[in-house]
Chain A
Amino acid sequence: MLFSLFLFAGSLAIAQTVQITGTVTSSEDGLPVPGVSVIVKGTTLGALTGADGKFVLAAPQGAQSLVFSFIGFRTKEEPISGRTTLDIVLEQDLFKVDEVVVVGYGVQKKREVTGSIATVKGDALASLATPSFDAQLAGRSAGVQVTTRTGVLGEAPRMRIRGVGSITSGTYPLVVVDGVPIFTGDQGGAASTNALGDINPSDIESMEILKDGSGTAIYGSRASNGVILITTKRGSGGKFKVNYSNYFGVAQPVKLFDLLGVDDFVTISNEKRSNRGQSAWASNDGAAYPGQVVSTDWQKAVLRSNARQQDHNLAFSGSSEKSSYYFSLGYTKQEGVTKPNEMERFSVRANADQKVRKWLTLGTNISVAKTDYYGLNTGNNSLSGNIFSAIRQLPNTPIYNASDPTGYNIEAASPNLVGKWNNNATIGDNLPNIVYVLDHNAQNSKIFRTIGDAYAQFNILPYLNFKTQIGIDDSQSEGFQYWDPIHGDGRSSNGYIYNDYRNQMRWNFQNILSFNKTFGDSHNLAATLVSEVQSQQINSFWGDGSNLSNDFFRHNLITGSYGVQGSGGSLTENGFVSYAGRLNYNYKGKYFIQGSVRYDGISSLPEENRYGLFPGASVGWTLSKESFMSALNNIFSDVKLRASYAKVGNTDIGYYPYFGLYGAAKYADYNGIAFSQAGNDQLKWETSTKYDFGLDMQFLEGKYKFTFDYYMNNQDGLILSAPTAPSLGIPNNSINKNIGGMKNWGYEFSGEAFIIRTSDLVWSADANVTFAGNEVQSLYNDLDMIYNYTIIRVGESYRSIYGYDYRGVNPANGNPLYAKADGQIVQGNIPTSTYVNYDPADPTNVSVAAVQLGNADKKVLGSSIPTYFGAVNTTASYKGFDLSIMARFSGGNMVMNRTRMDLLNQNFTNNGKEILGRWQSVDQPGDGMTPKLWASGGNFVNLSDQASTRWVEKGNFFRFSTLSIGYNFPKDLIKKANIESLRIFAQAQDMFLFSKYKGIDPEMETDGTDYNGTPRQRVVTFGINLGL
Chain B
Amino acid sequence: MKNIISKIIYSKKLVIMPVLVLALFISSCEKVIDLAPYSSISEATAYSTPSLVELSVIGMYNGAQRGYYPANGTGRGYPFGAAFVEQGDCRGEDAVNLQAFYQFTYEGTYTTSTANNEAYWSDTYRLINRCNMVIDGVNDAVKKGIITDVVGNQYLGEARFMRGIAHLELLFHFARPYKATAAASHQGVPYRTKAYTTQVAIDDGSKQSRNTVAECYAKILEDLNFAEANLPGKSARSGNAKIVRATKGAVIAYKTRVYQHMWDWANVIAEGEKLKALGADGYTLTTNPEGVFVSNYSNTESIFSMENSANNNPGSNGQLANMYNGKARALVCISPIVWRNSYWLADDKRRTALTYKASSGLVFTEKYKDYTTYSDAGPVIRYAEVLLNLAEAYARRNTGSDLANALVNLNLVRNRALATPATQAYTAASFADNTEMINAILAERRIEFCMEGRRWPDIHRLMLAIPAKLANGNPPAAAFTLGTPYTGPYGVVSVPYDNYKYLWPIPQIEINANPTLAAEQNPGW
A residues neighboring B (CB under 8 Å)? 2-3, 7, 10, 13-14, 276-279, 359-360, 381, 413-414, 416, 425-426, 428-430, 458, 460-461, 466, 468, 488-491, 493-494, 509, 511, 513, 531, 533-535, 546-547, 563-566, 570-577, 601-603, 607, 610, 655-656, 659-680, 682, 723-733, 735, 737, 783-786, 788, 831-833, 851-855, 907-908, 935-936, 938-940, 945-946
Contact = CB atoms under 8 A, between A and B. Distances in A.
Contacts of B401: none
A610 B11 CA distance: 41
B473 A936 contact: yes
**By DSSP majority rule, is chain A's interface helix, strand, loop, or mixed?**
mixed
A300 B191 CA distance: 56
Contacts of A831: 493
A458 B18 contact: yes
Given A571-B38, A727-B190, A939-B109, 11 more contacts: A428-B99, A493-B316, A531-B26, A564-B373, A659-B42, A669-B307, A671-B55, A726-B507, A727-B125, A729-B125, A936-B472
Given A430-B331, A733-B122, A946-B113, A660 B43 contact: yes
B330 A428 contact: no
A491 B129 contact: no
B34 A413 contact: no
A766 B162 CA distance: 68
Contact of A494 (B126, B206, B372): B372
B406 interface: no
B130 A730 contact: no
B335 interface: no
B161 interface: no
Nearest to A605: B33
Given A572-B37, A726-B125, A667 B58 contact: yes
Nearest to A853: B111
A674 B509 contact: no
B202 A735 contact: yes
Contacts of A728: 125, 129, 192, 196, 201-202, 205-206
Nearest to B127: A729
B423 interface: no
Interface in B98-124: 99-101, 103-104, 107-109, 111-113, 118, 121-122
Given A679-B43, A726-B513, A727-B514, A854 B111 contact: yes
B126 A729 contact: yes
Contacts, number: 340
Given A416-B329, A674-B130, A602 B118 contact: no
Interface string B53-72: 00111111111111010010
A33 B95 CA distance: 86
Contact of B32 (A577, A725, A935, A940): A577
B491 A276 contact: yes
Contacts of A939: 100, 103-104, 107, 109
Contacts of A610: 33
B279 interface: no
17 contacts: A359-B14, A460-B15, A491-B322, A491-B329, A494-B372, A564-B310, A660-B42, A663-B41, A667-B58, A673-B55, A673-B56, A674-B56, A726-B507, A727-B121, A728-B205, A833-B108, A936-B103
Nearest to B107: A833
Nearest to A575: B32
B371 interface: yes
Interface residues of B, number: 124
A831 B107 CA distance: 11
Nearest to A576: B33
Contacts of B508: 786, 855
Contacts of A381: 71
List of 4 A-B pairs having minimum Cβ-Cβ separation, nearest first: A729-B129, A672-B58, A674-B59, A726-B122
Contacts of A7: 1, 4-5
Interface in B11-54: 11-12, 14-15, 17-19, 21-22, 25-26, 29-30, 32-44, 46, 52
Contact of B197 (A511, A575, A678): A678
Interface in B445-498: 471-474, 476, 489, 491, 493
A494 B327 CA distance: 12
Contacts of A908: 473
A570 B517 contact: no
Contact of A854 (B7, B46, B112, B190): B112
A665 B41 contact: no
Nearest to A833: B109
Contacts of B30: 577
Contacts of A359: 12, 14
A572 B112 CA distance: 37
Contacts of B59: 662, 665, 667, 672-675
Nearest to B322: A491
B360 interface: yes
Contacts of B3: 13
Contact of B118 (A494, A577, A726, A854): A726
Interface in B153-194: 189-190, 192
Nearest to B17: A458
A468 B23 CA distance: 13
Nearest to B308: A668
A737 B63 CA distance: 25
Given A725-B517, A726-B507, A936-B471, A672 B61 contact: yes
Nearest to A607: B34
A939 B97 CA distance: 14
A454 to B, nearest CB: 13
A936 B474 CA distance: 11
A671 B58 contact: yes
A276 B471 contact: yes
Contacts of B524: 851-852
Given A491-B322, A493-B374, A728-B202, A675 B43 contact: yes
A509 B108 CA distance: 60
B39 A663 contact: yes
Contact of B22 (A511, A667, A671, A675): A511
Contacts of A493: 316, 322, 371-374
